[in-house]
Amino acid sequence: MQKNRINQPAFNIKPVHMAVVFGLSVLSSHLHAEEAASVAAEAETLPQVTVAASTDSNVPSEQTGSYKVENSNAATGLDLSLRGTPQVVSVITSREIEDYRLTSVNDALENVAGIVVERVETDRTYYSARGSDITNFQLDGVGLPLNYGLATGDIDTAVYDRIEVIRGANGLMSSTGNPSATVNFVRKRPTEEFNASVDVTAGSWNDYRVEGDIAGPLNGAGNLRGRLVAVQHNRDSYLDRYEHEKSVFYGILEADITDHTRLTLGHTYQKNEADGVLWGALPLLYTNGQRIHYDVSASTATDWAYWDTEDNRTFAELAHEFQNGWQAKAVLSYRKAEQDANMIYMYGTPSSNSSADMGTWPSTYLQDNEQWLADVQVKGPFSLAGREHQLIAGANWARSRLEEESRYGTSVYSPISLDDILAGTEPNSSYPVVSGEASFRDRRSSIYAAAHFSLSDRLNLIGGARMTSVESKGESYAVPHEYEHDDKVTPYAGIVYDLTEQHSAYASYTDIFNPQTEMDINRKPLAPLEGKSYEAGIKSEWLNKRLNTTFAVFRSKQDNVAESAGIIPGSFDTYYRGVTAVSKGIEIDVAGDITDRLQLRGGYTALSIRGEDDEDIRTYVPRHMFNLATSYRVPMLDKLKVGMNVKWRGDIHRDIAGTRVEQDSYTLVDLMAAYKIDKNTTLALNVDNVTDRKYLTSLMWDQSFYAAPRSASLTLSWKY
């Protein structure tokens, strides 16, 4: 499907978004008129956010205003404190998202030490942790693996209260996956009292964003509540010819059917329209092995290239609390994701800038993906041997359908020079014939159970298992895309021992099982990845439980890890072989409040990844990573808050045709300052990459491009 965009306005607010913003603006004027006489300069206080009672022990991070949370059930399904969870859990809270304007999931995850965000293209991203790909992304603890292990488009954070990253294998709640991490997005929920906010942002490269959020009761009794979030985000780019428009809508209703039963209905819509997109990136070497140096704005994209995505997610949740403390919950979700793209790939290795010794590969691409997911669980306390314990049991069912169509352009294989590539002047092609299709159905069903045993006042044991059956049937580009694995059991075990009132030692173990979509040279999927994952460490609570720290060591061994082995003859498709990999290292995580004025969250990861012959593998993954985000309310000037976010990545390299391409270690510094104008209004300045560091976004592939240089944004926020 071809699209023409003529004289498209740079900033276009959709009617629904305009209505939300206008309504909130009118309300703001009315409230300010009433309060003008009483509002004076005062110390910064947290906005009043009262959230409707939850069926678990988690408190929304928007209610606390902190860089840490107390509890999470994402690792085991049980409502445990972070100290009582035998894995490293890092959380990006609502406060940190707001302070550093982390409006993109990619930006948020780059703030977590040990998480590698591989921006291989402008609109396609891979993620890894502990040397393995992250494929499990969940919503409120329930989800399906990413198709092909990657994310397309720019996922917005406006609809989420926080983002939880559970390190290591998470087979208990995810059923499949690598020993990397599971990313759990926790949705914003309606509030018992009225709350509203509007953020208006303007930044470098014509970056404009309007975000509205309104929540509260919808009837006098307060047993029906709602929330509405809307975003319109338009931006140009430091990259030549690239621009992006994003629209987000999120609506959710909660109804208390009885005093103990709640029904929740919600829908999320996001549309990304990106022009001048990269398919592939810049060649890194000349034929003589010399490194090619580009301007930071260099791009191989043309102005007619585009990649649009549309994502609709609908869910229903029914929760009931029994009088004996037990809870039951059923979740049904549906997702429909569509992609429409017309792009050009530039292949080959140039001998010079002017020689026409590279080639073009234009293509159109359509994808339609539907997913159904249901999860039913019960959990609660039980007594045994004179002590109280917890139990969770549930069943999960999922279906996914994927349809793809590719058409290669008539100008495929046309010679082109590097100069012409960088100019982006290659004309579009015609696409008369379907060149490839994919159509397959995935099925997954599982049952799971876990228990938290309080063996003594100091010793706690967590044990569980999940039995999973997975199946895929269909074809992918004329090759069978089929596998079936029945009743695969992944056990989980963890132990936590309280050394003192402030410190706990823990250890955990889980099996690894992950069906793979990577193809071998015969275009058949590789056998499932299998292995074992271990973790042990010390968790501590400091400063009267205001600061949490974790020190962990981990080790995982995986068999049949997909490793790129070359290009399938007669195509541009990569084929893979299965190898054995051992990953081990240490992780440090810290989050909380040092004082009433100083907040921080950060961490450090040191990593080793070795192959079958003890060789260094996946060398494009940094072996050392450090992050530290802080915010500080200035003494004697309580209306002013400042902060610094430091990210350091160790050096990486990749061998291309016998030549090593290196990316030196680098440090990025982001600064923020927010001034509270009055009780409801704040003006914030964010400056990213203050030192203007130039670096490649990834060396996962043989091609790459440069990350964003220094940029700035100004945000005016109103909250009630």
Q: What is the 3-state secondary structure (H, E, C) of 158-200?
A: CCEEEEEEEECCCHHHHCCECCCEEEEEEECCCECCCEEEEEE
pLDDT surpassing 50 at residue 61? yes
Global pTM reads: 0.89
Residue 710: what residue type? R
> Comparing 207-216, 504-513, 560-569, 607-616, which segment has the lowest mean pLDDT?
560-569
Residue 163: what residue type? I
Q: How far apart are CA 320 and CA 515, in angstroms?
A: 35
Q: Which residue has the higher pLDDT, 225 or 36?
A: 225
Residue 240: burial class (beta carbons within 10 Å; 0-12, 13-18, 19+): middle
Q: What is the pLDDT of residue 677?
A: 97
pLDDT surpassing 80 at residue 510? yes
DSSP class of residue 148?
G
Q: How far apart are CA 699 and CA 98, in angstroms?
A: 30
pLDDT surpassing 90 at residue 256? yes
Q: Which residue has the higher pLDDT, 40 or 495?
A: 495
Among candidate residues 155, 161, 164, the one with its CA nearest the CA of residue 183: 164
Q: For residue 251, give the H/E element and its range.
A: strand 243-256
Task: List the structure tokens of 128.
Answer: 């890894």
Is residue 228 within 8 A of residue 216, CB to CB? The reply is no
Residue 71: burial class (beta carbons within 10 Å; 0-12, 13-18, 19+): middle
Q: How far apart are CA 131 and CA 620, in angstroms?
A: 10
For the domain 15-719, what is the CATH superfamily, name and number? Answer: TonB-dependent receptor, beta-barrel domain (2.40.170.20)
- % residues pLDDT > 70 (the chain): 91
Q: What is the pLDDT of residue 564?
A: 74
Q: CA triplet 695, 700, 703: central angle to 5 degrees?
A: 70
The model's pLDDT over 160-219, given as tens digits with 9 standing for 90+, comes to 999 999 998 776 777 677 889 999 999 999 999 999 999 999 999 999 999 999 999 999
The model's pLDDT over 597-619, given as tens digits with 9 standing for 90+, comes to 999 999 999 999 998 888 999 99
Q: What is the pLDDT of residue 147?
A: 66
Is residue 609 within 8 A of residue 131, CB to CB? The reply is yes
Compute the mean pLDDT over every residue in the chain, rounded to the nearest whole number. Answer: 89
Q: How far apart are CA 587 and CA 166, in angstroms?
A: 12
CA distances from 434 to 247, 395, 407, 477 (A): 31, 41, 5, 11
Task: List the structure tokens of 343.
Answer: 């792009």
Report the length, in residues, of the chain: 720
Q: Which residue has the higher pLDDT, 645 or 511?
A: 645
pLDDT surpassing 50 at residue 631? yes
